[in-house]
Amino acid sequence: MEPTAAPEAASAQERIASENKLDVVRQKPQEGKGRRGSLTNPEVYDDVPGHVIPIIEREFEDFDSEAAKFVGGETSEDQFIGFRLKQGVYGQRQPDVQMIRVKLPMGGVTPEQMDAFADVIEKYAPLDKGHITTRQNIQIHHVPLPDAAKLIRELSDAGLSSREGCGNTVRNVTGDPYAGISDGELFDITPYAAAYVRYFVRHPTTQLMPRKVKTAFTATDEDVAITGIHDIGFIPRLRDGVRGVEVRVGGGTSIMPRIAPTLYDFVELENGDYLKVSEAVFRIFDRQEWLRVNRARARIKVLIDKIGIDAFRDMIAEELEGEWVAERDFSIDHLKYGIDEEANAPGPPAAAASPNGDHSEFERFVSANVRPQRQAGFNAVEIKVTRGDLTPEQLRGLARIMRESTGGSARTTVHQNFILRWVRDEALYDVYSRLGELGLSEPGADEVTDVVSCPGTDSCKLGITSSMGLNRAVQERVEAMGISDPLTRRVHIKMSGCPNGCSQHHIANIGFYGASLKVGGRQMPAYIPHLGGNYEGGEVVYGHRLKARLPAKRVPEAVERWLRLYEAERSDGEEFNAFVERVGVKRFEEEVSELTLPSEFSLETMSQFIDWNRSEPYKVERGEGECAV
């Protein structure tokens, strides 16, 4: 009898796939970018302020060509959607217009880019505004398709790119807007985040993954970038003088909120190991065919939730032994983006302006909106941007302030605000006054009146309710309350127009997502509340979902009742979330119980059957979103 060879031991990935019944592609071409300067990789990396994502001119020509084919009926809509999404052009619920999502890596933007935004908004956007998103992008809405290519081409002259702003790609890389100027940071993470952006944009493996990947680089353990809610996140670490990052993988909000566990405590930066590990994560994710069956759940968090972080770490370790590693160039010197803002910081003004008479409004602004930098004599000024919207006049005005009173660049935030950096102590009042001329000097950035929302049914196909309209109504209600209590001012309110959570309502102290009610055969806009979420101090907590469905027109009243309840019954110094935990969510449900009872339709109650900022009776009109196309 001939001896038989022992069967080969299954690889870790095969074993894990078998144990968990995962449908995985064993052999899949997953190429790299190719040699720099070749036809397959013509990208050029320049250390020009704001120019993080390389611009490739032929992509605009391709867009023109593909758009013309679609308009002419030569290409189907399904074929064209995938193409335009990679260029950051997203369909709206309104026919024949597009949303352009312009990526701002780490939220960074220059004065020239602000002027460019103002120019294209005036030319192509009928709403005459740009919108800062919770992903630190700037979106421009209601752009006719024939103008989309012109718009992205004109922005490219200023180094702005919408490439992979949509689609199943590595989306805009967000970050701590205080990186480089924060107390307690080990080093500035910005150049490494930029290298990550440049490495993965147009990367063949990340062009058609099961779903999008959201990335965050934070600056300190305060985790201002909220890495815990991301597909992949990076936190600076030092080990024996070597720069590295803690890598977290598998977070996310939406219908299955998860907090990202730590994949590795320390991965080196300068040798490019963090890029190598990231690519290994994306390669494994890309091969999970079972995730492609249900796009609503096709995220990295679902894979890790199913197999566990330890098994996933085993898969990564095995992936890093693959032949592909030797085929890549993980060096980062050519990818790093290093602009010295300090060198561009303004000198002391000849004379420092100061307020005359009553200083209280300016002092309130400084207290709420100004944060001293670790560099003595300089400050970061956070501008409260109501609902994230900026007009061309405001964009140009901010550009002038940036040129004359900052280090030459600014950053957007995930709370839809705008931060000026490197503002001298002596220039604070002058900057405050000039912001006032633009209507942007309101105090209370990141406070209770600084309400955050997604666009909702203003433009999104997936929207169920007018979250922007509710934002306005809640903000007006809270402002009318005249809140002066410091602890109440620290409450954060967010609302989304659907369960997907683009406003990050899960981590708000008071959060809502859009839903509907049916009353006597008629539909009524409604919201489901969450209480007790948190994203501050390095800790992510998802809020408690209440067993309540509030008619949209009663939400502002519910917010006021909850805030009044907190102020009336809390212990001395007790913060809002601690109060929620102590008294329990049932107490909050009781406080609004009669508000949850929908009214019967009549002339007196008709307004409750009409959504905020609308004039027609409410009806759920939800299309197919393109996030998962």
pLDDT, tens digit (0-9, with 9 covering 90-100), for 478-519: 999 999 999 999 999 999 999 998 999 999 999 999 999 999
DSSP 448-513: TT--EE--GGGT-TT--S-HHHHHHHHHHHHHHTT---HHHHT--EEEESSTT-TT-GGGSSEEEE
> Are residues 408 and 497 both part of a single domain?
no
> Are residues 246 and 322 both part of a single domain?
yes
> Are residues 485 and 352 both part of a single domain?
no
Confidence of residue 340 (pLDDT cuts 50, 70, 90): confident
Looking at the predicted structure, is the pLDDT value of residue 10 above 80?
Answer: no
State how far the Cα of 526 lies from the Cα of 514, in Å rounded to an integer.
6
User: Is residue 404 domain-resident?
Assistant: yes
Cα angle for residues 373, 377, 378 (degrees, 5° grid): 45
Query: Between residues 217 and 501, which one has the greater pLDDT?
Result: 217
Question: What whole-number percentage of the chain has pLDDT above 90?
Answer: 83
> Are residues 277 and 312 both part of a single domain?
yes
366-375: long-range contacts, CB 8 A cutoff, minimum separation 24: 366/428, 366/432, 367/443, 368/443, 368/444, 368/445, 368/447, 368/489, 369/443, 369/444, 369/445, 370/428, 371/178, 373/181, 373/182, 373/421, 373/422, 374/181, 374/182, 374/183, 374/185, 375/181, 375/342, 375/422
pLDDT of 1 reads 47
* Residue that terminates a domain, selected from 165, 185, 205: 165
> Are residues 159 and 188 both part of a single domain?
no
pLDDT of 188 reads 97
> Are residues 160 and 54 both part of a single domain?
yes
> Are residues 410 and 478 both part of a single domain?
no
User: Is residue 536 domain-resident?
Assistant: yes
Which domain does 321 fall in, by range? Answer: 12-42+168-339
CATH code of residue 290: 3.30.413.10
In one letter, which amino acid is 262?
A: T
What are the tens digits of pLDDT across the range 398-439?
A: 999 999 999 999 999 999 999 999 999 999 999 999 999 999
Looking at the predicted structure, is the pLDDT value of residue 6 above 70?
Answer: no
What are the tens digits of pLDDT across the range 447-478?
A: 999 999 999 999 999 999 999 999 999 999 99
> Are residues 356 and 494 both part of a single domain?
no
pLDDT of 356 reads 80
Looking at the predicted structure, is the pLDDT value of residue 46 above 90?
Answer: no
User: Is residue 161 domain-resident?
Assistant: yes
Looking at the predicted structure, is the pLDDT value of residue 373 above 50?
Answer: yes
Contact yes or no for 118/197 (Cβ under 8 A): no
Looking at the predicted structure, is the pLDDT value of residue 82 above 90?
Answer: no
> Are residues 24 and 173 both part of a single domain?
yes
Average pLDDT value over all residues in the chain:
94
> Are residues 328 and 387 both part of a single domain?
no
What are the tens digits of pLDDT across the range 175-188?
A: 999 999 999 999 99
User: Is residue 626 domain-resident?
Assistant: no
Looking at the predicted structure, is the pLDDT value of residue 189 above 50?
Answer: yes
Confidence of residue 359 (pLDDT cuts 50, 70, 90): confident
* Residue that terminates a domain, selected from 409, 437, 465: 437
For the ranges 43-47, 292-296, 396-400, 594-598, the maximum mean pLDDT occurs at 396-400
> Are residues 428 and 519 both part of a single domain?
no
CATH code of residue 156: 3.90.480.20
User: Is residue 562 domain-resident?
Assistant: yes
User: Is residue 620 domain-resident?
Assistant: no
pLDDT of 628 reads 53
pLDDT of 324 reads 97
Confidence of residue 118 (pLDDT cuts 50, 70, 90): very high
Q: What is the mean pLDDT of residues 90-107?
A: 95
Residue with tokens 């209601």: 142
Provide the number of structural domains found in the chain: 4
> Are residues 314 and 268 both part of a single domain?
yes
User: Is residue 475 domain-resident?
Assistant: yes
* Residue that terminates a domain, selected from 405, 437, 469: 437
CA distances from 579 to 31, 240, 571 (A): 53, 42, 8
Residue 442, exposed/middle/buried by CB under 10 A (0-12, 13-18, 19+)? buried
pLDDT of 569 reads 98
User: Is residue 279 domain-resident?
Assistant: yes
In one letter, which amino acid is 34?
A: G
pLDDT of 71 reads 84
